Each structure stands twice: as C-alpha cells, then as structure tokens.
Amino acid sequence: MEEGDTRVPTGVIVVLIVTLASLALVHRRVVRRASARPARIAGTVAVVLAGLLTLATPVGLLAGNGRIDPDRWRWISAAGLTWLATVFYLLLTLLVLGVLWVLTRLIRLARPEFDGAPLRRVVALVGVVGAVGATLYGLVEAATPRITHTQVGLASMPAAFGPLRVALITDIHAGPVRTRAFVQDVVDRTNAENPDLVILGGDLIDGTVAQIGEDLAPLRGLRAPLGVLAVTGNHEYYAGDAVNWVQRWRDVGVRPLVNESVRIERGGAAITVVGVNDRKGTAPLAVDYDAAFAGVDPSAFALAVAHEPLQGREFARRGADLQVAGHTHGGQLWPFRYFVKLQQPALQGLESVDGMPVYTSRGAGAWGPPVRVAAPPEIAILELRAA
C-alpha cells in the first residue's frame, strides 16, 4: 500500500473469504451430520463464534490504517487479529489434509481396501488443537519484548570513541492492540540498560496522530546521553499521516533523520549516523540516499539506519560500516520466516549484506495478530567497539 492507501490488503480479504466458506462447509458437511444433538449444538456455536471472529478481523485492520478509532474498537480488534493467527495455522492444516487426501487416493489405486479417513481425522484434530495452542503460546510470547545483547567488533570503529551502547527499538506497532502502556514498558526496559544512543527504526505505529499520537508520549522519557534518533518505516505512511508522525516525534524529543546525517563526538573522536526514509515512502518523505550522505566524510565511521535490511545494499555501495534495521519481525509467525528470506537479504540478528554487517531487530511489537511464534520480540542492545 502507498501513503494514504487505507484499504484492507487483498491477500487478507481472500483469506477471510476462504475462511468463511470453509466454516460454512464444515457446518454443512460435519456439524449437521453429527448423530448427537448436543454435538450439533456445540458445533454450531463454535462455527458461529469463528464466523464472528473472522468478521472482526477487518475491524482491527481498519483501526490500524486510520479508518476507525482504535480506542473504541480495541477488544474487537484484538480478538479479530488474534483469530487471524489461528486461521493461518488452520489453513496450513487444510493444506496438509489436501496433500494427505491426494496421497490416500493414490494408495487406493494399488490397495482398494485402504481407508485413509481415520488418518485424516487424526491429522485434522491435531491441526485444530495445534492452531489454537500455537496462537495461545504466541500471545504470551509477544506480550513482553525481551532484551538481547550483541557485541559488534568493527575494525573501522575509532578506538578513542570507546564502546558505544546502542538501543535499537523497531516495529512497536502501537495502535489497534498495543497501547501507551506497552510503549511505556518498552521505554522503561530500554532505560534500564543505560544506552548511550537510542535508535528508533520505524513502524512505531499503526494509525494517525489524531487517533493514537498520545500512545507515543512515553518516548519523551527515553534517556541516552548521545541522543534519540528515528527513521520512518513503511507503516508510518499507510494512514497518509507520515509528515505529522515525524513532527510528533520531534514533539516528544526524538530527532528524525529525514535523509540526513548527524555527527556524534566523544573522546576526541567522532562517528556519523546516517538515516534515510523507508524505501516505500512517498514525497515529501521519499527515500534519498544521496541527500543522506551529502557532506559525510567517506573515511569516517558511518552507522546507517533504515527500516529494511534490503536498504543495506545502497548503504554498502556508499561505504557505510554498519546498518541497523527492523521490518522483518523475524518472520513473526513460523514458518513465515522462510518467505521473508525470499524478499529480504537478512532476517534477524547480525548478518551481512553485500559485505557490510547489518543488525536486523525482530521488533518490539507485532503487526496484525498480537502473536509471535518462534520469533520473540526484542529490544536490541548493541555494543559497538573497535575490533
């Protein structure tokens, strides 16, 4: 979606339609054929509840792109978006059942007496229980971002500058589910680590300043002697309010890096932090690498900041020494991590992009479902030192 595009993603609409159709089919082919009346009643209640949750999902998505007020629809949004994670795992189960059905048909060509129905019923039951279990586990996993510590040795880091503790916070996604209280918790956990520098790597919100601007008020409490810097992510643009969000950051004491650099001095040495807008940003906040590197000494240590690790290719071409990024969520819901790797050159942690080290944070929050499976949220503390 481009800036100002407030539609529900087409892929999500397709998933919701498939889900409703599948529920109708389950009710017709399974629930109505149950021999016991209590089973038919329980099954009907379950199908109706699942249908209502499916219809609640777009509410959360519309709250996230500024179409409706998140505060008025918070619990409906949370329920619908959480259900979306369950739907994803149920669809995986349907895929497995489809493959299993084809295999059992092939086996029956050689052994007509073979009945694969019992096996399919077991797989279906395991899939349903697994989908619900994975969602419940993921809710707990996503509730509290953990602190991670990574030491990064860099030959180009000026030794006189001393070790630099950088707190990297990305992908909070305050809005439909995450509130000001969540942002405050992120701030408190970050301050407890006593960072020298805080970098906010984009996708801090889902919504407009008018609706959820106060959710970012706790950022005013971030404490770092060398400053608090920020770049835009793609979600800052989705509600058509990116310019106002950048101003909101300034209002709460955060310095935006809008295709620009800032020089930081300590111990008689200096480093340069170069920040660019998200690559999907539009005017007046489109990405401009040349503007960001204007006046930057090519021989100086440059810490690059951009929302996506994919942007590291442009930084590597310009001689940056390290990039910090977010965006990927570490895949958020397993096995999405494998699909993320098809689009991004780095997924999580310290990796290399075109020969330049890139640290990609899994992010503190979650987009869509407030659920994380095998991709725990993080506030990354990086200690940069001369190698």
Summarised one tens digit per residue, pLDDT across range 178-228 is 999 999 999 999 999 999 999 999 999 999 999 999 999 999 999 999 999
User: Of 142, 158, 192, which residue constitutes the final position of a domain?
Assistant: 142
* Other Cβ atoms within 10 Å of 8 Cβ, number: 17
Mean pLDDT value across residues 85-106 = 91
Distance from C-alpha of 261 to C-alpha of 380, rounded to nearest angstrom: 22
CATH code, domain carrying 325: 3.60.21.10
Number of domains in the chain: 2
Extended strands (E) in 225-309: 228-230, 255-256, 260-266, 269-275, 302-305
> What is the domain extent for residue 89?
10-142
Distance from C-alpha of 347 to C-alpha of 337, rounded to nearest angstrom: 7
My answer on whether 218 and 115 are in the same domain is: no
Percent of the chain with pLDDT over 70: 97
My answer on whether 198 and 345 are in the same domain is: yes
Whether 5 maps to a domain, the answer reads no
My answer on whether 152 and 109 are in the same domain is: no
User: Of 142, 160, 184, which residue constitutes the final position of a domain?
Assistant: 142
My answer on whether 253 and 272 are in the same domain is: yes
pLDDT value of position 358 = 98
Distance from C-alpha of 16 to C-alpha of 33, rounded to nearest angstrom: 25
Decide: 337 and 375 in contact? Cβ < 8 Å: yes
My answer on whether 212 and 180 are in the same domain is: yes
pLDDT value of position 4 = 46
Contacts of 58 (CB under 8 A, 6+ apart): 8, 12, 16, 80
> Residue 7 — very low, low, confident or very high, per pLDDT cuts 50/70/90?
low
pLDDT value of position 29 = 73
My answer on whether 170 and 117 are in the same domain is: no
* 127-178 residue pLDDT tens: 999 999 999 999 999 999 999 999 999 999 999 999 999 999 999 999 999 9
Q: Is 65 a residue whose pLDDT tops 80?
A: no
- Structure letter (DSSP) for residue 220: G
Q: Structure tokens of 243?
A: 């310019």
Q: Is 384 a residue whose pLDDT tops 80?
A: yes
Mean pLDDT value across residues 314-333 = 97
Q: Between 96 and 42, whose confidence is greater?
A: 96
pLDDT value of position 8 = 57
Distance from C-alpha of 242 to C-alpha of 47, rounded to nearest angstrom: 40
My answer on whether 317 and 360 are in the same domain is: yes
Q: Is 2 a residue whose pLDDT tops 70?
A: no
Q: Structure tokens of 77?
A: 């949004």
Distance from C-alpha of 183 to C-alpha of 204, rounded to nearest angstrom: 9
* Angle between the N-to-C axes of helices 117-143 and 74-110, in degrees from 0 to 180, rounded to the nearest 10: 150
The closest alpha carbon to 328, from 354, 366, 382, belongs to: 366
Decide: 304 and 323 in contact? Cβ < 8 Å: yes
Whether 3 maps to a domain, the answer reads no
My answer on whether 212 and 151 are in the same domain is: yes
> Residue 80 — very low, low, confident or very high, per pLDDT cuts 50/70/90?
very high
Distance from C-alpha of 322 to C-alpha of 315, rounded to nearest angstrom: 9
Q: Is the dihedral of CA 54, 56, 58, 60 positive or negative?
A: negative
User: Of 87, 111, 142, which residue constitutes the final position of a domain?
Assistant: 142
Q: Is 3 a residue whose pLDDT tops 60?
A: no
Q: Is 100 a residue whose pLDDT tops 50?
A: yes
My answer on whether 330 and 347 are in the same domain is: yes
Asked, as a colleague might, if the bond just before 176 is cis with ω within 30 of 0, I would say: no
Whether 371 maps to a domain, the answer reads yes
Q: Is 33 a residue whose pLDDT tops 80?
A: no
My answer on whether 93 and 19 are in the same domain is: yes
- Mean pLDDT, rounded, of the chain: 92
pLDDT value of position 120 = 85
Distance from C-alpha of 378 to C-alpha of 172, rounded to nearest angstrom: 10
Whether 237 maps to a domain, the answer reads yes
Mean pLDDT value across residues 265-274 = 95
Q: Is 330 a residue whose pLDDT tops 80?
A: yes
* Other Cβ atoms within 10 Å of 262 Cβ, number: 15
Percent of the chain with pLDDT over 90: 73
Strand order, beta sheet including 322-325: 260-266, 269-275, 302-305, 322-325, 356-360, 349-353
Mean pLDDT value across residues 350-377 = 97
Task: Count Cβ neighbours within 10 Å for each residue of 197-229 and write b for 16 or more, e otherwise.
Answer: bbbbbbbbbbbbbebbbebbebbeebebebbbb
Decide: 78 and 60 in contact? Cβ < 8 Å: yes
Rg (CA), the chain: 24
My answer on whether 28 and 64 are in the same domain is: yes
Whether 1 maps to a domain, the answer reads no
Whether 357 maps to a domain, the answer reads yes
Mean pLDDT value across residues 284-312 = 96
Whether 2 maps to a domain, the answer reads no
Q: Is 253 a residue whose pLDDT tops 80?
A: yes
Distance from C-alpha of 303 to C-alpha of 65, rounded to nearest angstrom: 31
My answer on whether 47 and 162 are in the same domain is: no
Distance from C-alpha of 156 to C-alpha of 356, rounded to nearest angstrom: 12
Decide: 357 and 315 in contact? Cβ < 8 Å: no
Mean pLDDT value across residues 306-329 = 97
Distance from C-alpha of 203 to C-alpha of 201, rounded to nearest angstrom: 7
Decide: 206 and 367 in contact? Cβ < 8 Å: yes
The closest alpha carbon to 204, from 21, 27, 367, belongs to: 367
Distance from C-alpha of 269 to C-alpha of 331, rounded to nearest angstrom: 38
The closest alpha carbon to 232, from 247, 251, 214, belongs to: 247
